[in-house]
Amino acid sequence: MAENLYLPNELITRQDLRRVGREASALLDVLQQAHVRAKQGVKTTMPRVSPILEALAASNKIPLDNAQAVEGLVANIEAWQEAAVTFNFSFASSPSAAFLQKLVAWLRREITPLAVVQVGLRPSIAAGCILKVNSKTFDLSLGRRLNEQKSKLQEVLFT
């Protein structure tokens, strides 16, 4: 895997990574077929690509009309799928796309450049989040904090 390539912040989840991998593979097939057809004098229309694949190509300066460059990108995506670290977050409500992009940007800058996020909903946590990474769980919720301080809370409320 090339060290100078990285994931753009638009690529948030492991599903995004798999989807862009399938799309890049399909694009590579089209480019290879276009090369064969060009020898026969047949012109091929290039498919439109998703904004995530465009962002991935643009951030890594990869021309999507070059079969060799796309082949390298496909190989990198396959390596990323194996090496990516999934951060499983549970929130009380659905976070916005802008928030997830900021969260992924921070994780990639501060923790690992191959961070991807999986988001779940757990309304019972009220506020904050619960984070699971590998076999570790971090409860960063307001509910946990309130339960820890239950005696102090009762003392303040009922005295």
Sequential DSSP letters for 22-57: HHHHHHHHHHHHHHHHHHTT---PPPP--HHHHHHH
- Tell me the C-alpha distance between 110 and 101, whole Å: 14
80 φ, ψ to 5°?
-60, -40
- Neighbouring residues of 37: CB distance < 8 A, sequence distance ≥ 6: 43, 44
End-to-end CA distance of the chain: 63
| Residue 57 burial (C-beta neighbours within 10 Å; 0-12, 13-18, 19+) | buried
Instruction: Give the Cα separation of 83 and 97 in Å (integer).
Output: 24
| Lowest mean pLDDT segment, chosen from 15-29, 74-88, 144-158 | 144-158
Tell me the residue type at 43: K
Distance between CA atoms of residues 153 and 155, nearest Å: 5
Kindly state the tokens that stand for 50: 């998703």
pTM of this structure: 0.77
Predicted pLDDT at 93: 87
**Secondary structure letter of residue 44 according to DSSP:** -
Greater model confidence, 99 or 159: 99
Please state the rounded mean pLDDT for residues 96-100: 92
The 3-state DSSP class for residue 158 equals: helix
pLDDT in tens, 31-46: 988 888 777 777 777 8
The model's pLDDT over 32-84, given as tens digits with 9 standing for 90+, comes to: 888 887 777 777 778 888 999 999 999 999 999 889 999 999 999 999 999 89
Burial label for 69, CB within 10 Å (0-12, 13-18, 19+), is middle
Instruction: For residue 122, name the pLDDT band (cuts at 50, 70, 90).
Output: confident
